[in-house]
Amino acid sequence: ETTPGQATFYMMVLTIQTGIGPTLEILRLTPALFDFLHRHFAPSLTNRERRSRWYFLTPASMPGTFDPIGQSTSLFLTFLLVLVFAPLAPLIGLFTVFYFLTVEIVSRRQVLFVYDPTHSSGGVFWPILYYFSVIALIISQLSLVGVLGVKKYPQASFIAMITIITLLANQYVTRAYPEMSKYLPLKQCIEVDNERGEHLLFPYSQLTDDQNTATIFGPYVQPALTQKEPIFPVEDDSN
């Protein structure tokens, strides 16, 4: 009986987060306060000083880049809570869908129209999200097994089997996909070898044991890693 009661509490928490978090992000009260302090206390003799950071104060013309870390912590916690409580209190799923939808709309709007563009799209968090999702699933399944076991329902044994299947699936994924991502696909390796072979002055059969295409041409670097740094706009230093 306590678990559905806790689910009701977290529904209220999600409702408050949905109303406060995106609203503060849209209004940008903290950047507005920093801009007010910057305009009244920061040096403003030149145009560059008026548009530059002064200690921790920044003008409104410097919104910065979007910080996915602050968003990820609350989103991960919400995702964990909905997985734990949704089997026992399905109504929490509706509040969670509304929360994620609101955050997605507000974040997309802010990234496109407010924050400075950046080459980082948050892809580095996908492996973390995967492992967190697996841990959340296991916690959710074990919680459900505990509740059903206390109430002496026979379905608890089936949920325990699902937990074992989840662990086996995670073991398969962690063995298969990360190892594949460390190396080039076989087709691309063949294309690189054929391209380098065209520039060799002798066939591959004449290579010695301590020679290979890497020692002759150098290690292969993927094209995405050889691109130049992005060009950023230059600030106007005129007064």
CA distance 68 to 107: 10
Residue written as tokens 């869908």? Answer: 97
Q: List, in order, residues 6 or more apart from 42 with CB less than 8 Å away.
A: 49, 50, 54, 57, 59
The Cα 103–Cα 86 span in angstroms is: 20
pLDDT band at 181 (very low <50, low <70, confident <90, very high): low
What tokens does 113 get?
A: 């129209």
41, pLDDT greater than 80: yes
Give the pLDDT confidence score for residue 165 in this predicted structure: 92
60-109 pLDDT, tens per residue?
778 888 877 777 778 888 888 888 888 778 888 888 899 999 999 998 89
Percent of the chain with pLDDT over 70: 75
**Cα-based torsion angle of the residue sequence 34, 39, 41, 43 in order, rounded to the nearest 10 degrees:** 120
CB 39 within 8 A of CB 51: no
The maximal CA–CA distance of the chain, rounded, in angstroms, is: 79
pLDDT of residue 239: 45
pLDDT of residue 105: 92
